[in-house]
Chains A and B, each alone.
Chain A
Amino acid sequence: MLWLFACTDAVEDTDGNEPDGATLSAPALAMELEAADVAGLAEAALSAELVTPYAALHWFESLLFDLGAGGEGCPHFTPSPFDPLVRLSEWQGRCEGVSYTISGGWLYQDRHERVDAEHSTHAAQMLLSFAGEGADGPISAGGWAELDWTDAPEGREATLVIEGTFVDASAITPWPTGIRGGTTWAGTVTDTFNGTVSGPTGTATAELYLDALTLIDGVVTGGRLGVRDPSSAWWWVSFTAAGDGTVAADQVEPALGVRVGAILTEALLRDIEAAL
């Protein structure tokens, strides 16, 4: 169940009064989406694995493997002279990888340490700027990524930070236009994800903003999901968890300093009535 609200009213102070002496006022935005549209886009975002890191992790790992296994013009790794556990890679030029052919450059560094026979820690930082073609379409990268994970008996604990624009039309990802914006996942990656995710992102049909979403066993239980209206205003979907672990209605929070009204979906109304 979701509370949905949009910015529609004029600026008010905390007492609900118009500010004195205001000589300018922003023109009203003609919202194009309806609440039901926003609910649909939010649910699609949740089901498209935007809020969990698996697809992003898989994409980066595949990319690293593909480029690292490429020919002479591709990035290669050399051990750091200061730390035997660290590998470095500095590449610029044209690379014909296994599935990709790209031109551009990257700076890469990783550290891999084996904790015991079955567990290890791995940290990688990379700055990417390239464009090219994959098996089924163009690929481009502009930004940086930081992967930090620990394989422990209770599972893999991972932090993944992606900032920039990464487009891969040939990859099987939930995002036809690739990874956009900047997303930070921090939590435990096992069969499900437990942690938080924040940052701007998007799909082919929606521009989204993840505002400290909290996931427990892969289910969103807190935080906000922003959905951009074509008018350039933003809708905000707030999540909270009731004691039984289901998302329930909660107090509406003003967005962008503007007092707003609540817009309820039919499902939300039925849930409230059932709870009374």
Chain B
Amino acid sequence: MPLDDVRLARRISLDIRGVTPTLDELDRAADGELDSLLSEWLVDDRHEAHLVDVFAEAWALRADELRVGPTEFGFDDADLPWFTRALEDEPAHVMARIAVSDRPWSDVVQSDTTLANAELAAIVPLEFLDPADPAEWKEARYTDGRPALGVLATSGLWARFATTRFNYNRTRAATISRELLCTDLLERPVSFVAITDPAPDALEAATRSVPSCLACHAGLDPLASSLFGFWPYDDKDGPELLTYHPEREPLGAALLGAAPAWFGTPIAGVEQLGALVAADPRFDACTVHRAARWLWQREPEPADMPALSEIEGAFASGGSRYATLVTALLQSDEYRAGDYVAEATDADVVVGETLHSMSAPMLASFVEELTGFRWEWEGWQQLDADVSGYRVLAGGVDGATVRRPALNPSVSRTLVIKRLAQAAAETVVTHDLAAAAAERRLVGRSLADAALLPDDASLAAEIGEVHRRVLGVAPDEERLGLEVALYGEAWALGGAGAGWQTVVAALLRDPEAWTY
């Protein structure tokens, strides 16, 4: 059964913008304006910002630690947080910008520009197309002769998925296969039974002759051979690793013994790689598959193939616009399911996903939008990092060992949400009780004085508004009564501040807040 329009609006707003609807938007949804709201939200600036989080998590880009560090570029160790994020987020920004623009999705592998902020521009050799553009991330072009390959030409992607000297770009070729074709070579069984000599030369020879090795290397090595402009002689030297070297392009054939090719199609010049990726039937299919995984919050099953094939056809025939794909998925029955019909079987329950759960980055954006609280320590976003942070504990992806979000309730996730809720409640209530009505974020926005007594006539209505703002629906009478009573008990201990903090924290911790 589909969600009602109000709950569906909350789900769409979170999936598209990472934030809940305003009360006005909830009212408009109730009045049947959901389609208009979706159109507005697809051009909201927060949609692009949220897509950066979505792509960064899907590609496991934010690994916190890279092979290069800030001190190689004249900065300090304390600059590590912005240094790594400037690099790691670059490919996510490229994809997000193409997704929200009227550009074909194939630009992801064929664009001759990238996106960069001032920090990234201080690290890699590029120049802004319009330096006067006030946006933080703006279009730029590399100046070291690298080819027009979209994300495949970004220093950020290859800093994240680095290669060692003797790996010869194979890691990177496997990354292309996994992220753009949905073919993860590491999921294939690897057998060393036929390998009798572990010497490096013998292993290299085995990749070209032993059938169990050739199963992967026949496609992997020619693709790796095409990436040698990105290959560093010294894989620990920052400038070496982040600069393109056009003169090294023929080294692939020399070192790997494999001429550049895309799964059997020879590549005469590396700029052909982008067109070959985009023309591969697996590229569109993988794009649709991953978008479905994101929005349906589950892995597509064989039973989904007819629906996804239809969506893929519309995507391709409509000029491969990412917005078209997103809209089609948001309109699907799979996305809009809110509950099961009486006739649903156990198999239906296993396949279908009727309750969505916030990812770690979404928890951060959801809370910040409502309360202004940003959980940060020494430059690290605590819900988006693990070297200093709680990202994996909150069910997030760390890029190194955790590649898929864990969104089911768990002890660690519940504890993180508890602390997040308490800290955010303290922040917003402290602010709102001191601010004028027009500047309050969550509490007392329609009142002259937000410091209410427990028996104040406007207390219940105000708590109801806060409840609706956080959870998307108004509380029923019983629930409202409990929240009013909770306010009174806390008020007795610490006044209006304690009262509101307790109620807001309870609302933010409620499973109905962080599920949708």
List A residues at the B interface (Cβ < 8 Å).
Answer: 7, 11, 22-27, 29, 103, 127, 129, 131, 140, 142-144, 163-165, 180-182, 200-202, 207-209, 211, 226, 228-229, 231-234, 256-258
Contacts and interface: CB of A to CB of B under 8 A. Distances in A.
A256 B246 contact: no
B512 interface: no
Given A29-B271, A234-B249, A163 B233 contact: yes
B405 interface: no
A232 B271 contact: yes
Nearest to A202: B247
Contacts of A127: 234
Contacts of B232: 142, 164
B247 A256 contact: no
B486 interface: no
B251 interface: yes
Consensus secondary structure, chain A interface: strand
Contacts of B23: none
A26 B276 contact: yes
Interface residues of B, number: 40
A206 B214 CA distance: 36
A263 B232 CA distance: 34
B247 A201 contact: yes
A256 B259 contact: yes
Contacts, number: 120
Contacts of A163: 233-234
Given A129-B234, A163-B233, A22 B265 contact: yes
Consensus secondary structure, chain B interface: loop
A182 B268 CA distance: 22
Nearest to A8: B268
A164 B240 contact: yes
A228 B281 CA distance: 30
A209 B248 CA distance: 7
B272 interface: yes
Contacts of B145: 207
A180 B245 contact: yes
B268 A26 contact: yes
Given A208-B247, A256-B253, A231 B271 contact: yes
Interface string B262-296: 11111111111001100111000000000000000
10 contacts: A26-B276, A143-B234, A164-B234, A200-B250, A228-B246, A232-B269, A232-B271, A234-B250, A256-B266, A257-B259
B237 A142 contact: yes
B239 A140 contact: yes
Nearest to B271: A232
B345 to A, nearest CB: 40
B250 A226 contact: yes
Contacts of A226: 250
A142 B251 contact: no
A207 B268 contact: no
A26 B266 CA distance: 7
